[in-house]
Chain A
Amino acid sequence: MKSLSIRNLSKTYFDPYAGKHVTAVQDVSIEVPEGEFVSIVGPSGCGKTTILNMVAGFLPVSGGEIVVDGRAVSGPGPDRGVVFQSHALFPWKTVLENVAFGPKMRGVGPKEREAIARDYLALAGLSHAADRYPNELSGGMQQRVGVVRALANEPAVLLMDEPFASVDAQTRMTLQEELTRIWQERRPTIIFITHDVPEAVFLANRVVVLSKGRVLEEVEIDLPRPRSWETLIEDERFKTLSSRVLQLVRSA
């Protein structure tokens, strides 16, 4: 896992309905050192998903640059794994085939890529679901597979776009705890996009608050790990940090 630099990034596009150019992202710089977990929060329309799509290479940048592992980004690539809100699993592939897809594209042989996929499925407690199709899984399990599929390709950075936004509240807490556990075990470099402030604080080493396409402030999250909701829900430091970030988001 490697580092990520977002330098003076901006995005303008032409809105044909408004008949003018719109600035979605303006002069954003974010440094994510190797092995760090950074959450980006902000109200809808603040540009957080646009930034993630540019880092993923799905959208061209209008200005600035994105450097992953020492190389400037141009287009999508396996060095940046993406976890989607819609999970985007391939419905016609089994869970195992979905997770083995990245290694398969890298040219890893059938036996070896199955072993890789089984290893990562075990990491997320999904071994029993290996031969099922995605539509046979619950929403929470689908998202777990989505995370594991991206991780199994061993990307330099993991980009997560509100991955837990469409699961129920209980499952979401479990998924958040599992993600922190997996992060501690494997130490991937992660950018996590969310509009959920407690989620951002719970997961990250650092929370970047965006407002109207700019970085409003960065907040260091110095909570001890391992983190669990049972302890943090009553934790004074967690409450202080959460309300600090919430105030920033609401002022945004």
Chain B
Amino acid sequence: MSAALSVNPFLRLWSGYLRLVARRPALGQILPFVPLVALWAGVVEAGLFPRAFFPGPVDVVRSFVDLTWKGILPAYLEDSVVRLAVGAAAGILTGIPLGLLVGLNATAHRALWPILLFFQAIGDIAWLPLLIIWFGFGLETMTFVIVYTVLFPIVLNTVLGVRSIPLDMHRAAQSLGAPKWRIVAEVVIPGALPNIITGLRNGLGYGWRALIAAEMIVGTSGVGFMMFDARRAGSVVEILLGMIILGLLWYAVDALILAPLERATGRRWGLVAQ
């Protein structure tokens, strides 16, 4: 009997980690942050920078509790999330029908596609100077920016999805007796759905960033406003808190809305790689 091949202790640790994460997938979402937060806390504790200039995790948590207690953070967070939700709803309700029209109708495609590409290129923030003159600092400006930002990825991806449905799929539906409107409902919309969800993912991601930027510049509330206001007061801890909340909120949107949608559609149907 030869001696067992010695295993690198790091590999053993790694395989233990993989087994743990396989059993408890939620841990796999949290544990990678542990070294990052530890590193952050270590740098702060080493006292390389003044504490007010570079606060640690504990300071941020304290600030979180404080602002939540005062009710400022929940109110601002609600403002931002409601704006994103309203923008997303408006973007979905106009973007999907517009995408279906442009994807299905050759004339509409010819007429609208160049215009869509043109306006897509003019970034959300590029509209701000004009919007501030037209609507001033406030909700109208922010709503325009968010709807605008969500709309284009949804329209463009819906068009792509509609056009990527194989011709045989349309033919099969036709020769099974489906009239045009039923082909739209039974073939075109489900066939385009994986792309539509990709559009939604991109739109929400861009929209979230655009919203925070708009809140910084024209907002009077919201997470973006909170961060920019903290800059005025020189409160680095609140800026860091805002940044962390942005990341966490996106994590929640992904885990609770986008990922389940993707699992239930394209992946289930084998249209998207696992």
Q: Contact residues of A with B, CB < 8 Å?
A: 56-58, 75-78, 80-82, 84, 86, 88-93, 101-102, 105-106, 133-136, 149-150, 153
CB distance B175 to A56 under 8 Å?
yes
CB distance B171 to A102 under 8 Å?
no
CB distance A77 to B177 under 8 Å?
yes
A105 contact set on B, CB distance < 8 A:
176-179, 182
A92 contact set on B, CB distance < 8 A:
190-191, 193, 265, 269
CB distance B171 to A91 under 8 Å?
no
Q: Interface digits, B144-187 against A, CB 8 Å rule (1 contact, 0 not)?
A: 00000000000000000000001011011111111100100011
CB distance A133 to B270 under 8 Å?
yes
Instruction: Tell me, yes or no, whether B31 is within 8 Å of chain A by CB.
Output: no
8 A-B pairs whose Cβ atoms sit less than 8 Å apart in the complex: A76-B174, A78-B177, A88-B172, A90-B169, A90-B191, A92-B191, A92-B265, A134-B269
Cross-chain contact of B176 among A75, A101, A134, A136 (Cβ < 8 A): A101
CB distance B169 to A102 under 8 Å?
no
CB distance B269 to A91 under 8 Å?
yes
Q: What secondary structure prevails in chain A residues at the interface with B?
A: loop
Instruction: Tell me, yes or no, whether B67 is within 8 Å of chain A by CB.
Output: no
Complex formed: what's the CA distance from A134 to B191 in Å?
14
Complex formed: what's the CA distance from A18 to B176 in Å?
36
- Do A101 and B186 form a contact, CB below 8 Å, given A88-B169, A92-B265? yes
B186 contact set on A, CB distance < 8 A:
90, 101
Q: What secondary structure prevails in chain B residues at the interface with A?
A: helix
Complex formed: what's the CA distance from A88 to B175 in Å?
12
CB distance B168 to A133 under 8 Å?
no
Cross-chain contact of A84 among B171, B178, B265 (Cβ < 8 A): B171
CB distance B177 to A56 under 8 Å?
no
A56 contact set on B, CB distance < 8 A:
171, 175
Most chain A CB neighbours (cut-off 10 Å) among B169, B174, B175, B265: B175
Complex formed: what's the CA distance from A153 to B173 in Å?
12
* Apart from A90-B191, A135-B270, 5 more pairs, CB < 8 Å: A57-B175, A90-B169, A92-B190, A133-B268, A136-B270
Complex formed: what's the CA distance from A106 to B177 in Å?
7
Cross-chain contact of B271 among A84, A91, A93, A149 (Cβ < 8 A): A91
Complex formed: what's the CA distance from A102 to B190 in Å?
17
Complex formed: what's the CA distance from A56 to B271 in Å?
27
B178 contact set on A, CB distance < 8 A:
101, 105
CB distance A135 to B269 under 8 Å?
yes
Most chain B CB neighbours (cut-off 10 Å) among A89, A101, A150: A101
Complex formed: what's the CA distance from A75 to B174 in Å?
9
- Do A88 and B177 form a contact, CB below 8 Å, given A56-B171, A133-B269? no
B174 contact set on A, CB distance < 8 A:
57-58, 75-77
Cross-chain contact of B166 among A76, A88, A93, A136 (Cβ < 8 A): A88
Q: Interface digits, B204-236 against A, CB 8 Å rule (1 contact, 0 not)?
A: 000000000000000000000000000000000
A82 contact set on B, CB distance < 8 A:
171-172, 175
Complex formed: what's the CA distance from A91 to B270 in Å?
7
Chain B nearest CB from A155 CB (Å) reads 8
Chain A nearest CB from B128 CB (Å) reads 40
B179 contact set on A, CB distance < 8 A:
105
Complex formed: what's the CA distance from A78 to B265 in Å?
28
Complex formed: what's the CA distance from A180 to B178 in Å?
29
Residue of A nearest to B168 (CB): A88
Q: Which 9 A-B pairs have the closest CB atoms?
A: A135-B270, A78-B177, A76-B174, A88-B168, A92-B190, A105-B177, A91-B269, A102-B176, A88-B172
Cross-chain contact of A153 among B166, B171, B177, B182 (Cβ < 8 A): B177
Cross-chain contact of A77 among B168, B169, B175, B191 (Cβ < 8 A): B175
Complex formed: what's the CA distance from A163 to B175 in Å?
16
Q: Interface digits, B18-50 against A, CB 8 Å rule (1 contact, 0 not)?
A: 000000000000000000000000000000000
Residue of B nearest to A155 (CB): B175
Chain B nearest CB from A56 CB (Å) reads 6
Residue of B nearest to A80 (CB): B175
Complex formed: what's the CA distance from A198 to B190 in Å?
39
CB distance A88 to B190 under 8 Å?
no
- Do A86 and B176 form a contact, CB below 8 Å, given A91-B269, A92-B190? no
Complex formed: what's the CA distance from A77 to B179 in Å?
10
